[in-house]
Amino acid sequence: MSAQHHSGGTALSGKIVWVTGAGSGVGEAAALLMARAGASVVLTGRRIEPLESVAARIISEGGTAMVAAGDVTDKTTASTVVAQIVARFSRLDILVNNAGMNIKNRKLAELTPDTVNEMVAGNLTGAYYNVLAALNVMRQQKDGVLIHTASWAGKYISQISGSTYSTAKAAVIAMSETINVEEFRNGIRSSVLCPNEIATPMLDKRPVKVTDEERARMLQMEDMGNLIVYIASQPPHVCINEVVISPTWNRFYEKMI
């Protein structure tokens, strides 16, 4: 039984979706909402327990979910997961390339070569591995959608996010558009999302504590999940190249006044 029988959603009926960073935050919201829209969802992340929890929620609502745990910064993970997806579903329609990370000691004076490598791997290199593996399947299908979570920080530099996070997310924006440049002839569309502050568990890594009142004014995880479903539901002739999205109460604007 698929999710559309439970919720009435059919926008993604029959689609096979791979979500990375699916155990929490934007990835969790996207996985749940895409399943409710009728997709079969494959969940990847480093910790298996949160993935199994998300999968159980999807299945309890009548949807289809498969857990494929792994660290996307390991260069073997993406190809292994995609092989599992093809073995079970015979295709891959949508990649939600969402896994990312940040660290507390993010100022240049606090960085070390190891933390730089960790940040680039966690926000850029792993995303590239996922793209390469997904494209191998999508090219054969002459169809596919890739949706990458970048950041407002990849477009507008501030000290809040830290230099390595901003730099890696700027590169994700460039990566997404190069996919469109090279793969549009294969019917493949790539979208990059550049959200400002989202109320996710990643806020706990901020050097300055974020209050509950501040979180309530931010973008919510469901806002991003609904946006991802919308992009994934577009007809094959539509490519939404880039979305810049922020909360109405934008603290970056507040500082300009």
Helices and strands: H and E segment counts in the chain: 10, 7
- Percent of the chain whose predicted confidence (pLDDT) is above 70: 96
Indicate if 230 belongs to the active site: no
Q: What's the pLDDT at 5?
A: 35
**CATH at 239:** 3.40.50.720
Helices (H), 90-156: 113-120, 126-141
Spatial CB neighbours of 256, under 8 Å, sequence gap ≥ 6:
none
Residue 177 pLDDT greater than 80, yes or no = yes
Question: For residue range 5-41, what is the model confidence (pLDDT) as tens digits?
Answer: 334 478 999 999 999 999 999 999 999 999 999 999 9
Structural domain count, the chain: 1
* 40, β-bridge pairs: 16, 64
- In the structure encoding, which two tokens stand for residue 229, read together? 């479903």
CA 225-76-128 angle, to 5 degrees, is 50
Task: Out of 129, 165, 230, 253, pick the active-site residue.
Answer: 165
Helices (H), the chain: 3-7, 25-36, 48-60, 77-89, 113-120, 126-141, 163-183, 212-217, 221-232, 251-254
Q: What's the pLDDT at 192?
A: 98
- In the structure encoding, which two tokens stand for residue 138, read together? 């999508």
Cβ 122 vs Cβ 73: under 8 Å: yes
Q: Which residue range is the domain that position 127 belongs to? A: 3-254
Question: For residue range 143-160, what is the model confidence (pLDDT) as tens digits?
Answer: 999 999 999 999 998 888
For the segment 112-131, the average pLDDT, to the nearest whole number, is 97
For the segment 110-122, the average pLDDT, to the nearest whole number, is 97
Q: Decide: helix, strand or coil at residue 10.
A: coil
Q: What distance in Å separates the CA atoms of residue 99 and residue 127, rounded to the nearest whole number?
A: 7
